[in-house]
């Protein structure tokens, strides 16, 4: 299983626009991708392609989250998703 830790960069955290951008990107992969707050057990991870799940994390700017995926292309998918989380989408 591939795993990456990312730091939330958007000033408003993982809410509204940043969550929608991330969820759409996560949904483009034919993989089960999960997200959890750093330090949370893997069994509490949520569907990374769900905007509601993302917003329920309550992740704010500077918080760390853990992404996990398994299967062909998981490493590349997680690398791309980390880049999205580590970009301040409110600064664009």
Q: Which residue has the higher pLDDT, 90 or 62?
A: 62
Whether residue 88 contacts residue 17, with contact meaning beta carbons closer than 8 Å, is answered with no
In this structure, is residue 36 part of a structural domain? yes
Beta bridge partners of 4: 67
The answer to whether residue 65 sits within a structural domain is: yes
Range of the domain at 8: 2-85
Domain count across the chain: 1
Q: Over the stretch 15-68, which tens digit does the pLDDT of each residue have?
A: 889 999 999 999 999 999 999 999 999 899 999 999 999 999 999 999 999 999
Enzyme catalytic residues:
15
pTM here is 0.94
């Amino acid at each position: 299983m591939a795993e990456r830790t990312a730091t939330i960069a958007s000033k408003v955290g993982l809410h509204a626009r940043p969550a929608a951008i991330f969820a759409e990107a996560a949904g483009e992969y034919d993989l089960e991708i999960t997200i959890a707050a750093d330090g949370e057990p893997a069994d509490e991870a949520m569907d990374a392609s769900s905007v509601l799940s993302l917003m329920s994390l309550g992740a704010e700017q500077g918080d760390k989250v853990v992404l996990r995926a398994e299967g062909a292309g998981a490493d590349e998918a997680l690398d791309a998703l980390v880049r999205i989380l580590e970009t301040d989408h409110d600064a664009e």
